[in-house]
Amino acid sequence: MATSDPPQLGDKARAALRVRGLSPRTAEAYLGWMRRYYEFHGRRSPRELGEEHLTAFLTHLAVERHVAASTQNQALAALLFLYREVLVMEVGWLDEVVRARRPRRLPVVLSRAEVGRVLGEMRGVPAIMASLLYGAGLRLLEVCQLRVADVDFDRSVLLIRNGKGGKDRQAVLPARLRGPLRDRLAAARALHEADLAEGAGWVALPDALGRKYPEHGRSWPWQWAFPATRRYTDRVSGQVRRHHLHETVLQDAVAAAVLAAGIPKRASCHTFRHSFATHLLEDGADIRTVQELLGHADVSTTMIYTHVLERGACGVVSPLDRLLVKEPAGAYSAGGLGWAL
């Protein structure tokens, strides 16, 4: 019996990514960098390439493509995965590759008044989703991928499944969102029942669960809390499914609301999460509690929010604000603040 041909490198990479449980988005990004590396060196086999080739590719990204340090490091991580996990090559020079240093950036944070102005410009489903970003400190995809079973009204918590790093955690369900969220789920259930009546009503399940309990794909608890408006047919199973609302819908709605509210900051969906953490710390919440709510692996990541509290830089009062200056006659008072300019 003839032996089958060995799988192509791309197929081996996909299999290795699945086995190690990387998220679909991470896997897609890694495959993209492997392909670009292959194309950059004239479609030569990565087995024939060495340290100088990897360095040339990373230099090209930094010098000619002007990518950020985080992007360059992601490309390096993808190629390390290629050599170590896919090709299974013992190449000592990989340990000597220098990672790009990421610049330290302070997060953009909205004041409470600014959050209210932005949310006040939003309507419908995006308004509820944006309120969850701020009220529960969720990431963009975490709110988009909420399922019905993840909303626990009795305990006032949201269950975040397979978050960043593959971790589960609990987030707070704001009391002000209980009513709107119940109404939203009622509308989603009516939509699901209409889909079932038409022979549809399927939803994508996590891999292991989908194989073990495929019938759960039509059950109500596994449906998306924020379903898309259109259905699609899965090419593998042939099931007529409904995806969750695409993240760009929320991103566009937030961008339009920030513009309409006249907020002069580079605010995005993730800004709500930054604001959630900062405002909790301003209210006296313990930083370990904030770390747990955000799902940070290291408290040092959460510590960044201590630098943007509404107490001035580093929590000090400017000496100018303590300066007492007697205004001479006819001096211009800057807004009546008590000093002469």
* 140 in the same domain as 60: no
Predicted confidence at residue 18, as pLDDT, reads 82
Amino acid sitting at position 292: E
Is 3 among the domain residues?
Answer: no
- Give 125-168 pLDDT, tens digit per residue: 999 999 999 999 999 999 999 999 999 999 999 999 887 777 88
Report the CATH number that the domain containing residue 80 is assigned in CATH: 1.10.150.130
Active-site annotation holder among 83, 134, 139, 184? 139
Question: Nearest Cα to 34, choosing from 89, 76, 73, 95?
Answer: 76
Predicted confidence at residue 165, as pLDDT, reads 72
* 33 in the same domain as 180: no
Is 2 among the domain residues?
Answer: no
Active-site annotation holder among 41, 169, 246, 270? 270
Residue 38 is a catalytic residue? no
Active-site annotation holder among 35, 164, 169, 243? 164
Mean pLDDT taken over the chain: 85
Residue 53 is a catalytic residue? no
Residue 12 is a catalytic residue? no
Is 4 among the domain residues?
Answer: no
Residue 273 is a catalytic residue? yes
Segments forming the whole domain that contains residue 223 = 105-341
**DSSP string covering 117-180:** HHHHT--HHHHHHHHHHHHH---HHHHHT-BGGGEETTTTEEEE-S-GGG--EEEE--GGGHHH
Report the CATH number that the domain containing residue 253 is assigned in CATH: 1.10.443.10
Domains contained in the chain, number:
2
- Give 269-286 pLDDT, tens digit per residue: 999 999 999 999 988 888
Other Cβ atoms within 10 Å of 143 Cβ, number: 27
Here the tokens at position 169 are 């955690």
Residue 139 is a catalytic residue? yes
Asked which of 44, 68, 96 is the last residue of a domain, the reply is: 96
- Give 88-97 pLDDT, tens digit per residue: 887 666 666 6
Q: How confident is the model at residue 100 (pLDDT cuts 50, 70, 90)?
A: low
Residue 326 is a catalytic residue? no
Active-site annotation holder among 192, 273, 274, 279? 273
Q: How far apart are CA 77 and CA 198, in angstroms?
A: 45
